[in-house]
Every structure is written in structure tokens, then in C-alpha cells.
Structure 1
């Protein structure tokens, strides 16, 4: 008997581990979020940024995600800081909304 025939369960287990590893690698790449840098100006707060950039997302949830992305322990930020913000949130500007047929 060959080694593979005698150790069928071990071979199946190793193939299963290999497939799980490949799945984890490719699943992680699909979940990557593109980020942009936002320069904090005097008077900015996470709450004001959440109102401006958070879209329909609840402010507490947006602030929590930004704090995790930027390794912040508190919600305090100061002028001159740079924060990472998901890029799709920067593309949302409620003032730029246009309806069909409207001229620019």
C-alpha cells in the first residue's frame, strides 16, 4: 500500500486546510476598503465629520469605524491631524445632487 492509501484521512484533512487557507486569503482581498486621507481643520470634530461624510450611516457607528481605522482611543481630534476615511464616503456630497433634465 502506498502512503496516500494508508493515510487517506490525513491527506483529506491537509487538502481541506489548504482550501480553507486559499479561501481566507482571497476573501480578505475582496473585503479591502479604499481609503482617503482627510486633513483635520480647526473646529472639526468626529461628530461634525460624521454629519458631513457619514451619509445615511448613524453617527455613532461612523465614528466607531473611523476610530478603529485610525487606532484612536478617544473621539478627540485636533487641527493638523490626518484621518483615514473610506473613499466612497468622500464621494457623497448632498449638495451635488442633480435630477434628470437639470442643467449644470
Structure 2
């Protein structure tokens, strides 16, 4: 008990660190997984899917974009903002780190 009384500031710091860790992890998980682009002349959902969809099937990716933007048709208007789902490439990043560690180019 005397240890707790003598080191209460240390316990307070540990409790604060744990609290902020939980807050930070919850905040990261709730961030929107999209980026916004502005539609230019000639942009189509199919054309954007070639660039943004990675390994997701094109039709499935287009449906995600339509749902994310509440679109009823695939027609896009020049100058509109369009939310694009972000697809993270964890596997490729790990391969780059392994190449750097091994010295391969």
C-alpha cells in the first residue's frame, strides 16, 4: 500500500497512457476509408476502376463507389467530388521492406 501512495503519479501516468491508447485505436478504426477526387472531362467509373480498384473485380468496385456516393446511375458530371474507396496494399509494402533489408534492388 505504501508503494501505491509513494508512486501514485506513476500509476496516474500509466492509466493516462492506457486511456489515450484506447482512444487512439478507436479513432483510427473509425476514420473513413476513402479519398475524394474531382471528376474531370472523360472520367468514367470503368476508367477510374482500372486505376483505383487494384485486385477488386471492376463491377464490385464500381458498385462500392456508387454506394459510397449515393449514385443511382454510372453517369458522372465534370467538377463533382467523388469518394473513392481506399484499398491498402500491405503485402507490397512488406515486400519493399524485405528488399531494403536484404539490399536487393
- TM-score of the two chains, using structure 1 as the length reference: 0.55
The answer for the alignment partner of 2:70 in structure 1 is: 71
Unpaired segments of 5 or more residues in structure 2?
1-27, 90-94
C-alpha distance in 2 between matches for 1:88 and 1:61: 13
Residues paired across the two proteins, number: 70
The question of whether the paired residues in 1 share the 8 Å contact of 2:64 and 2:85 is answered with no
How far 1:32 sits from its partner (Å)?
Answer: 6.0
TM-score by structure 2 length? 0.54
Structure 1 segments of 4+ aligned residues over 3 angstroms from their partners: 29-33
How far apart, CA to CA, are the structure 1 residues paired with 2:56 and 2:86?
15
Structural RMSD (CA): 3.1
Does the 8 Å CA contact 2:38/2:82 hold for their aligned counterparts? yes
Matches within 5 A, 1:83-98: 83-88=82-87
Name the SS of the counterpart of 1:83 in structure 2. strand
Q: How does 1:13-32 map to 2 (within 5 A)?
A: none
Match of 1:7 in 2: none
Q: Which has the higher helix share?
A: 2
- Give the structure 1 partner of residue 80 of structure 2: 81
Match of residue 56 from structure 2: 57
